[in-house]
Amino acid sequence: MGLPAKQIRPVGPTNLRLAPRRVSVCLLGCGVVGGELLQQITDQAATLAAEHDTEVRLVALANSRLILVADAGLDPARAVDWLDGPLPDGVRRYENTPSARDALLRELAQRPVPVLVDATACEGHTALFQRAVQRGIHVATANKKPLVVVNDRVEALSRAARRHRRAVRFETTVGAGLPIIETIKNLRTTGDTVRRIEGSLSGTLGYLTHQVSVGVPLSVAVRQAVEQGYSEPQPQDDLSGADVGRKGLILARELGLRLELDDVEIEPLVPSDLLEIDDVEAFLAALESVDDRFARRVESAAARGRVLRYLAVVDPSAPTPVRVGPVEVDRDHPAARLRGTEAFGALQTRRYDPCPLVVQGPGAGGAVTAAGLLADLLQIARRG
Ligand SMILES: NC(=O)c1ccc[n+]([C@@H]2O[C@H](COP(=O)([O-])OP(=O)(O)OC[C@H]3O[C@@H](n4cnc5c(N)ncnc54)[C@H](OP(=O)(O)O)[C@@H]3O)[C@@H](O)[C@H]2O)c1
């Protein structure tokens, strides 16, 4: 039986405004990615408030030397200038020491929906993440390094996050803003089995191999990647394959494989002796010595109808489940068609068979990575 007409209330737009959901952010790192995230928080503030009743409030910001904190929040458009310049009222500045970071976590934990955002390339943040979640703070990281330490510690972090009902989100660690990790999680939680992942997971190496294939000397292409902020802070990390190796390990662990970084087979893009040069400028200069050899390798592949690319393969049933390195692929291979910093991940699964599920798009750069971090923050805001 239907309701009498007078009891039916029209449903539609109202002037009712909800109290905004606030996420309280402590941002570690304000370089290429962190700087862009601050810009996006500034640019999106009005839209997030008007259309999503959400406020992303920056309560602390750090670089390698200093930490800024403000009870009423920092202006994300100006905070970087305050790291070294005169401080406005209400903003406190500390040296970035282990005890200051602990005090920061204590303070952050008091705020609504606190989130620690890691946009650094630091080693050693696993313990910081663990202390954060134990205090009730969510974590969103673009930094892979805390997630590729020994299994026991990463599993302890996941257990602590589950116990304290906190999120540790790390979508941007593989493929920058591309939804590769979320897609794998969704496939697995809905009962699918991922049988193999093949990907060009480094926007930087994709960019370099493409540039070289159109005739740009390798050393010039690497310099461009550094200048445009595509590469890791130390480009050696990209060319050694170490960064792709970390991504391969993160994906393998996402599939439930209990592997360590040493289990990943990594073939560098350039000879290992060059990679021992620490100084970035000296490394870039030394790379010129392999320009000709590299160009000949690419030309020889092209003469055989092949294209040089740098791929990662995760295959749980293979004797070496994670392998990364330079490979020659046919011209019609998805990796051969990538341009600029495009990356792709092809997921072969029980359901996506024989055609894999493919995620593809720009896989490096401050804008897309920061957007991925902001999306992680907004996911956290939604769950509260
Ligand atoms: N760039 C990309 O396209 C991209 C894509 C995906 C993921 N990522 C990841 O994002 C992270 C950041 O990359 P990026 O390109 O933005 O690097 P970046 O430009 O070198 O910036 C790193 C920032 O971290 C700060 N920092 C270093 N140690 C710190 C500490 N102990 N506490 C707080 N801040 C600290 C640095 O401060 P100082 O200036 O004082 O040294 C700097 O502001 C890396 O882990 C990278 O792998 C980058």
- For all residues of the chain together, what is the average pLDDT? 93
Closest CA to 59 of 71, 42, 43, 41: 71
DSSP letter assigned to residue 333? S
DSSP letter assigned to residue 318? S
- pTM for the whole structure: 0.92
Render pLDDT for 164-215 as a digit per residue (tens, 0 to 9): 999 999 999 999 999 999 999 999 999 999 999 999 998 889 999 999 999 9
Residues near ligand 1 (Cβ within 6 A):
28-34, 62-65, 96, 119-122, 142-144, 172, 176, 229-230, 232-233, 364-366, 369
- Which band of pLDDT confidence, cut at 50, 70 and 90, is reported for residue 230? confident
pLDDT greater than 60 at residue 30: yes
DSSP symbols for 26-84: EEE--SHHHHHHHHHHHHHHHHHHHHH-EEEEEEEEE-SSEEEEETT---TTTHHHHHH
Burial of residue 167 (CB within 10 Å: 0-12, 13-18, 19+) is middle
Torsion from C-alpha of 199, 200, 203, 209, nearest 10 degrees = 180
Percent of the chain residues past pLDDT 90, beyond the cut:
88
At 265, which helix (H) or strand (E)?
strand 265-266
Ligand 1 pocket test, candidate residues 25, 28, 33, 80, most atoms within 8 A of CB: 33
Atom of ligand 1 nearest to the CA of 229: 1
Distance 49 CA to ligand 1 centre (A): 28
Among protein residues, the one with the nearest Cα to ligand 1's atom 41 is: 64
More confident residue, 176 or 232: 176
Among protein residues, the one with the nearest Cα to ligand 1's atom 18 is: 31
The 3-state DSSP class for residue 344 equals strand
pLDDT greater than 50 at residue 12: no
Render pLDDT for 234-271 as a digit per residue (tens, 0 to 9): 899 899 999 999 999 999 999 999 999 999 999 999 99
Give the catalytic positions in this structure.
247
At 325, which helix (H) or strand (E)?
strand 322-330
pLDDT greater than 90 at residue 383: no
pLDDT greater than 50 at residue 147: yes
Helix 218-227 vs helix 203-213: crossing angle, to nearest 10: 140
pLDDT of residue 17: 56
Arithmetic mean of pLDDT, 8-23: 61
Render pLDDT for 74-104 as a digit per residue (tens, 0 to 9): 999 999 999 998 999 999 999 999 999 999 9
